[in-house]
Amino acid sequence: MAVTTAPGITSQVVMQMDVDYVMQTFARQPVVFVRGEGMTVWDVDGREYLDFLAGIAVNGLGHCPPSVVAAIRAQAGTLMHVCNLYYVPEQPALAKRLVELSGMGKAFFCNSGAEANETAIKLARKWAKQNLGQNRFEIITAEGSFHGRTLAAVTATGQPKYHQGFEPMVPGFKYVPFNDLAALAGMIGEHTCAIMLEPIQGESGVRPASREYLQGVRKLCDDRSLLLILDEIQTGLGRTGRWFGHEHYGIKPDIMTLAKTLGGGFPIGACLAADDVAEVFQPGSHAATFGGNPLACAAALAALQAIEDDRLVENAAAVGDYFRAKLEHLKSQRDDVVEVRGIGLMLAIDLSRKDAAHIGVRCLEKGLIVNSVGDSIIRFLPPLIVRREHVDTAIRIVSKALAESAAI
């Protein structure tokens, strides 16, 4: 189907305007997208792409999911925003739904993942001051973690490259190697109040916590009266084939953050906490002007409903297993694929070669959107609506990109 855009809008014009007027914080691929539907997006020239990145795990329901689009349209024409000095029906309705799904106690709404983690960090500190003592503020996070780009969230992020140029960082964070329980136990000190982890590290290349590790962390937190904060911004809401990543580990966090898939493509973040933790937030403790507005909540309610109605968590588990098996098969056929990692629809291959970025570009040229991480990792985060035939197509393209590039 032909795509109509304003006359004179070409990819060259858009890319030049970006250079001229947008802060150059992103190393973008040279493609301009104008439309999406389901698993597919189209560029300004009408070229079609199969999306195995889903806007970095945001478009969990695919592009422009009809029920979310309808909910946004209806709510946009009814009431978009009144601010949190007043009640709106959609906000507690969404909180109730998330509490029912997660078994957590209460929710706070914001607009992004980083903001949800800021909320979690502030909540943990306030809880600790009231429950453990005035000097309990330190949060231990993992090397290779990713928690967002606001100052506290990026400080929590255990990757020095994201700190460079922004020092001094926020005080009160310590880092330990991921999946190393002894290192974590050794880092707990008199100031520690919480441990913050992703069940599967996403941004640094899809690295799942081991079962013993996460269960051990939960026990450490219980024994030492520390809070366990799980960042489920990427792993939450069906991505791993369960509603929440921690369900694979048989543990529960005290605080959990969500964003990405939550709004079905619309920006919204949430911080959930157990009741006895949430209660330290009192009127005035924390706020977000846009947080939990009717428009964002209506989108999220429709997104959760669609995940449930269309059995997308089950689909993520089933197609994720199929995808993983296909990647393992690819590995068995190719010497340059050395490892397959991940759970559900959060998957990656690690290559022995160091041209992952180039492989990503070749895939894009062949009509497949994937994400290269570092020199050697290709990450896959397809929408939860993905089917086996899409996986077959993706595998064919990745395999071809690898084979052709090797030939150069």
Ligand X SMILES: *Cc1c(COP(=O)(O)O)cnc(C)c1O
**Contacting residues toward ligand X, per CB under 6 A:** 112-114, 117, 146-148, 198, 202-203, 231, 233-234, 259-260
d(CA 344, CA 245): 10
Encoding tokens for residue 285? 């403790």
CA-closest candidate to residue 29, choices 265, 408, 365, 356: 365
We find the least distance from the C-beta atom of residue 202 to ligand X, in angstroms, to be: 5
Question: Which residue has the CB atom at the shortest distance from ligand X?
Answer: 113
CA-closest candidate to residue 353, choices 345, 344, 362: 362
Closer residue to ligand X (CB): 91 or 201: 201
CA-closest candidate to residue 176, choices 186, 190, 162: 186
Closer residue to ligand X (CB): 218 or 260: 260
Provide the annotated active-site residues: 146, 231, 260
Encoding tokens for residue 7? 């006359």
Count the Cβ atoms, other than its own, within 10 Å of residue 194: 25
Closer residue to ligand X (CB): 50 or 152: 152
We find the least distance from the C-beta atom of residue 297 to ligand X, in angstroms, to be: 17
Count the Cβ atoms, other than its own, within 10 Å of residue 130: 12
Closer residue to ligand X (CB): 259 or 377: 259
Secondary structure (3-state) at 393: helix
* SS3 per-residue string spanning 277-310: HHCCCCCCCCCCCCCCCHHHHHHHHHHHHHHHHC
d(CA 14, CA 227): 47
Task: State phi, psi for 386 to the nearest 5 degrees.
Answer: -55, 145
Q: Strand order in 138-142's β-sheet? A: 106-110, 269-273, 255-258, 227-231, 192-197, 138-142, 173-176
Task: Give CA separation, 253 vs 214, 246, 272, 276, 304, in Å.
Answer: 10, 8, 10, 13, 21
Closer residue to ligand X (CB): 307 or 373: 373
Closer residue to ligand X (CB): 248 or 260: 260
